[in-house]
Amino acid sequence: MDEIRDFDLHAAWIRRAQTDLHAFLEALAARLEGALPGRVQVERKRDGLLSATRHVTAITIQVDGSRYLLDAHNHDVRASRQHEVRGVVLKTESLPLDRWLQELEDDLRRLSGTLEGARGILQDFLTS
């Protein structure tokens, strides 16, 4: 009897995680699109032929020499990062979602520092 109860509990957790995953992807996509215009591409798919609702199926973020990709299919998310030089992909690596998020955050922090430094130099030049 305990095995049946455990199975039902695990099945309920899986259903909840799948629902939370859609909400997570929608929130992440909205936040990234607003924060990084021109660097984020979000693909959405209709929930059905005549459905007005859509859900995120892929997110791509371009940060300097890296392209971060999230693909969501059949309640599963695949995270990867591509290293590219002059538009040519040299390496693609699959990453666990938590590591993907951390490395994206690290790259965005470096980009922010670089852009802030460039803005300061430009401002100094223009005001001198």
Q: Comparing 35-39, 46-50, 87-91, 97-101, which segment has the lowest mean pLDDT?
A: 46-50
Q: Which two tokens stand for residue 125?
A: 């030049």
**Tokens standing for 19?**
């629902």
Q: Identify the residue with better confidence: 59 or 20.
A: 59
What local confidence, expressed as pLDDT, does residue 42 receive?
A: 94
**Residues 56 and 83 sit within 8 Å (Cβ to Cβ):** no
Q: How far apart are CA 67 and CA 49, in angstroms?
A: 31
Pairing mode, if any, of strands 66-73 and 76-85? antiparallel
Q: What tens digit of pLDDT does each residue of 104-128 get?
A: 888 888 887 766 666 666 666 567 6
Taking only the tens place, the pLDDT of each residue in 24-75 is 888 889 988 888 888 999 999 887 777 777 888 999 999 988 999 999 877 7
